[in-house]
């Protein structure tokens, strides 16, 4: 292009010189200069054009996720996955995640966030591993009276979710050391020494405290069970109760605004006079392990103080009982009702596979959303059972008004209901 412009429009020679300046190599005064040692001279020449190769950035190990359920894409932006598909999550987008398949077509697209789970916590067997707790919580744990200098824990890094942090107590203070990952997946605190596994790294620094500058003696002694709910626990101030939706045997249900997430949610509160708080919290433990598109999903909880809040997704149409009595519900056809019933059966089949008895399945405990989506709700009576037959205790509370006559007197298994 340069030669063409110069030959066709020589009158614009000053412009061409400005655009394409006459470059002269340094230390070369003129073109007749003879280079005594061409190889040595070439090493000093700086090029100003050509294929400049930028070093590739450090690649972080890909976090492995798995699809919990089948999902059929409804638009070009979404990704069809099958249960068990291995995925990498690129980013979060509201209630969805942008994910990429790691096998097969390697396609990428949006999937509901509660349809995927991180295949992590391979270190959960270690007493020193505390998972996804933040810096403040780690310091609070280590400075508790149960611990002493040399107590330590390992947690997921707040700034890099694929890396970890050692938090250890020394001389009444807490120090934090970042555990990084190399391009081949090795673990290291100092680039002088790396380890194939996180366990090997911890073992090394326990035996060589001078390398880290502090002691790693005993894992943090605080009871771990108290913090199993940390990812779900939220401050009560984040929720604003707007409208009371109903009141059941085990608590009240409110429509509320989750201010930090800017979304409407449903909140179930504990009725202190009917149920002990520790029993109520045990029910949440079961809820946390259940993930199915036809079950109401747990979003958060407030278990510190009273009343206890259980925060779940909000279904816009309310309960199936009230929806069927509404003008919109009155015009439903048999096909619509069969479709809704099949969704309920799907959710109940999921519970059955996990040996869970609902014990209070009724139209008021089925919630309806847009496009006739139905989800099973109200696990206030749910219990995990290990045997094939459930036996109710004499002090178990069951809503008698909604229970068949035979089970009221414990003469029949609740599986017959």
Residue with the two structure tokens 């949440």: 284
Q: What's the DSSP call for residue 192?
A: T
Residues in contact with 63: Cβ distance below 8 Å, sequence separation at least 6, in sequence order: 88, 89, 118, 120, 161, 162
Helix (H) or strand (E) holding 248: strand 239-248
In a domain, 102, yes or no: yes
Q: How many CB atoms lie within 10 A of CB 24?
A: 10
Domain containing residue 202: CATH number:
3.30.505.10
- The predicted structure's pLDDT at residue 119: 58
In a domain, 190, yes or no: yes
In a domain, 153, yes or no: yes
| Total number of residues shown for the chain | 417
- The predicted structure's pLDDT at residue 241: 92
Residue among 84, 91, 92, 93 at smallest CA distance from 65 = 84
Q: What's the DSSP call for residue 172?
A: T
Let me know whether 187 and 251 are in one domain: no
Let me know whether 252 and 344 are in one domain: yes
Indicate the pTM of the whole model: 0.43
In a domain, 177, yes or no: yes
- HSE-CB at 339 with a 13 A cutoff on CA atoms is 9
Q: What is the pLDDT along the chain (417 residues), one digit of tens a residue?
A: 777 777 777 777 777 777 776 644 444 444 454 444 444 444 443 444 444 444 444 444 456 677 877 888 878 888 999 877 878 888 888 778 888 887 777 889 998 877 776 655 556 667 888 877 788 888 988 998 888 999 999 988 887 767 899 999 999 899 999 999 888 778 899 888 888 888 899 999 999 988 888 999 999 875 444 444 456 778 888 999 999 887 765 678 899 999 988 899 999 887 555 455 455 555 666 666 677 889 988 888 887 667 778 899 999 898 999 999 999 999 999 999 999 999 999 999 988 887 777 777 889 889 999 999 999 987 544 543 333 444 445 454 544 444 445 444 444 433 333
Residue with the two structure tokens 């310091």: 139
Is 360 part of the annotated catalytic residue set? yes
* φ and ψ of 224, to 5 deg: -70, -30
Q: Strands, DSSP E only, in 259-373?
A: 263-270, 298-302, 309-313, 318-319, 356-357, 366-368
* φ and ψ of 255, to 5 deg: -85, 130
* φ and ψ of 303, to 5 deg: -100, -5
Task: Give the integer Cα–Cα distance in Å for 361 and 404.
Answer: 12
Supply the DSSP string of 65-123, one letter for each residue.
Answer: EEESS-B--SSTTB--B-TT-EEEEEEEETTEEEEEESSTT--EEEEEGGGEEE---TT
Residues in contact with 396: Cβ distance below 8 Å, sequence separation at least 6, in sequence order: none
Let me know whether 315 and 192 are in one domain: no
Domain boundary among 158, 191, 219: 219
Q: Flag whether 207 is marked binding.
A: no
Task: Give the integer Cα–Cα distance in Å for 390 and 359.
Answer: 10
Let me know whether 176 and 262 are in one domain: no
Let me know whether 139 and 197 are in one domain: yes
The β-bridge relationship of strands 309-313 and 263-270 is antiparallel
H helices, E strands: number in the chain: 11, 21
**Catalytic residue selected from 70, 353, 360, 371:** 360
Let me know whether 317 and 249 are in one domain: yes
Let me know whether 83 and 161 are in one domain: no
Domain boundary among 163, 187, 219: 219
Let me know whether 95 and 189 are in one domain: no
Look at the chain and report how many structural domains it folds into: 3
* Residue 108 belongs to domain spanning: 64-118
Let me know whether 287 and 215 are in one domain: no
Let me know whether 304 and 166 are in one domain: no
Can you name the residues that pair with 91 across neighbouring β-strands? 98
Contact 157, 135 (CB under 8 A): no
Let me know whether 293 and 362 are in one domain: yes
Q: What's the DSSP call for residue 273?
A: T
Domain containing residue 295: CATH number:
1.10.510.10
In a domain, 152, yes or no: yes
In a domain, 394, yes or no: no
In a domain, 310, yes or no: yes
Contact 153, 174 (CB under 8 A): no
Q: Strands, DSSP E only, in 271-381?
A: 298-302, 309-313, 318-319, 356-357, 366-368, 374-376
Contact 291, 114 (CB under 8 A): yes
Task: Give the integer Cα–Cα distance in Å for 255 and 222.
Answer: 36
Domain containing residue 114: CATH number:
2.30.30.40
- The predicted structure's pLDDT at residue 104: 74
In a domain, 259, yes or no: yes
Domain boundary among 219, 254, 286: 219
Let me know whether 70 and 199 are in one domain: no
């Amino acid at each position: 292009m340069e030669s063409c412009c110069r030959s066709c429009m020589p009158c614009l020679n000053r412009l061409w010189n400005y655009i394409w300046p006459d470059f002269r190599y340094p230390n070369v005064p003129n073109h007749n200069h003879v280079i005594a040692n061409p190889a040595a001279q070439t090493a000093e020449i700086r090029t100003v054009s050509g294929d400049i190769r930028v070093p590739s950035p450090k690649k972080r190990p890909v976090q492995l996720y798995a699809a919990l359920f089948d999902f059929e894409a409804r638009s070009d932006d979404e990704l069809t996955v099958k249960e068990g598909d291995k995925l990498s999550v690129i980013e979060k987008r509201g209630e969805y995640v942008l994910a990429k398949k790691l096998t097969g077509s390697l396609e990428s697209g949006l999937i509901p966030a509660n349809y995927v789970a991180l295949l992590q916590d391979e270190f959960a067997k270690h007493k020193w591993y505390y998972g996804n707790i933040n810096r403040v919580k780690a310091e609070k744990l280590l400075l508790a009276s149960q611990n002493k200098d040399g107590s330590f824990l390992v947690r997921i890094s707040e700034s890099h979710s694929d890396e970890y942090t050692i938090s250890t107590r020394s001389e009444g203070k807490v120090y934090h050391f970042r555990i990084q990952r190399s391009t081949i997946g090795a673990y290291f605190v100092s680039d002088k020494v790396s380890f194939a596994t996180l366990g090997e790294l911890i073992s090394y620094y326990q035996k060589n405290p001078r390398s880290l500058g502090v002691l790693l003696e005993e894992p943090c002694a605080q009871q771990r069970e108290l913090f199993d709910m940390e990812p779900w626990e939220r401050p009560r101030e984040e929720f604003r109760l707007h409208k009371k939706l109903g009141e059941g045997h085990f608590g009240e249900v409110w429509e509320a605004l989750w201010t930090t997430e800017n979304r409407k949610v449903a909140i179930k509160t504990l009725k202190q006079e009917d149920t002990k708080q520790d029993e109520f919290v045990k029910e949440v433990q079961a809820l946390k392990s259940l993930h199915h598109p036809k079950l109401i999903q747990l979003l958060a909880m407030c278990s510190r103080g009273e009343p206890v809040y259980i925060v779940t997704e909000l279904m816009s149409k309310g309960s199936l009982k009230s929806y069927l009595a509404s003008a919109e519900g009155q015009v439903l056809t048999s096909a619509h009702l069969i479709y809704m019933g099949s969704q309920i059966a799907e959710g109940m089949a999921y519970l059955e596979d996990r040996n869970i008895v609902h014990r209070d399945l009724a139209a008021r405990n089925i919630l309806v959303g847009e496009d006739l989506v139905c989800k099973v709700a109200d696990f206030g009576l749910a219990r995990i059972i290990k045997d094939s037959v459930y036996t109710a205790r004499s002090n178990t509370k069951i809503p008698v008004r909604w229970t068949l006559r035979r089970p009221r007197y414990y003469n029949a298994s609740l599986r017959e209901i």
